[in-house]
Amino acid sequence: MAFSLTTLRRQYAHVPALAADPHPSVDAEQVTRTHLDELHSWAQIFYDVTLDGVLYSYDRERLGRLREQGRLPIVCVENVEALAAFEAESTGWLPVLLWCPRDEAAKRSTHGWPVEEPDRRWSRRWERSTKGLLADPGRFTLTVRSDRLDAVEIARIVHLAAQAGSTNEHATSTPPAASHR
């Protein structure tokens, strides 16, 4: 099958977290607090994380619905605990680490606006996330330095890896575990 962004959109679906009051820099779909409470009471939430005082939740229903449609859910997480929760929830994940150095990540977090130094909470989150995710590179089928490729090239690589099936071979662009900056 030829690679195209249209094909990717049909085969894959992005699944953001759910949050009653999301922060604009965190990938989340806004829902009511009542909706989140209902999902919790129905045991439909399999992972919660609080970032900067906001609760973000991932639910079973959306993941199941996409898989029933034959689509692969794409989820962005920033810690090993979230990765483990998704792996425990269902099989067939293709764990991919998209990583870039702190300076580039800071630039992206400000959407290109010049700032002296990123928010301290953001900096602490980036440090914690990087330390945790880089501590076990064997967890990932593929690791890509996202500062070295554009989004279309990354999508093509991830698509090829998904088509080939999960393997234990890793890309050669693994970020250095010793350096977090």
Model pLDDT for residues 122-181, shown as the tens digit of each residue? 788 888 888 988 898 888 999 999 899 988 888 889 888 888 874 434 333 444 443 433
Model pLDDT for residues 63-108, shown as the tens digit of each residue? 889 889 988 888 888 888 999 999 999 888 889 998 888 888 878 7
Model pLDDT for residues 6-62, shown as the tens digit of each residue? 767 778 888 899 999 887 767 789 999 999 999 999 999 999 998 878 899 999 999
What would the DSSP string read from start to end of 101-115? -HHHHHHHHTTT---
User: In the prediction, which pLDDT does 110 show?
Assistant: 66
User: In the prediction, which pLDDT does 30 show?
Assistant: 93
* Cβ neighbours, 10 Å, residue 157: 16
The tally of CA atoms less than 13 A away on the side-chain side of residue 157 is: 21
**Bridge-based pairing state of the strands 54-59 and 45-51:** antiparallel
- pTM for the model: 0.75
User: In the prediction, which pLDDT does 59 show?
Assistant: 95
3-class SS letters over 34-81: HHHHHHHHCCCEEEEEEECCEEEEEEHHHHHHHHHCCCEEECCCCCHH
Residue type, 130: T
CA dihedral angle for residue 158, residue 22, residue 175, residue 166, rounded to 10 degrees: -30
The confidence band for 117, taking pLDDT boundaries of 50, 70 and 90, is low
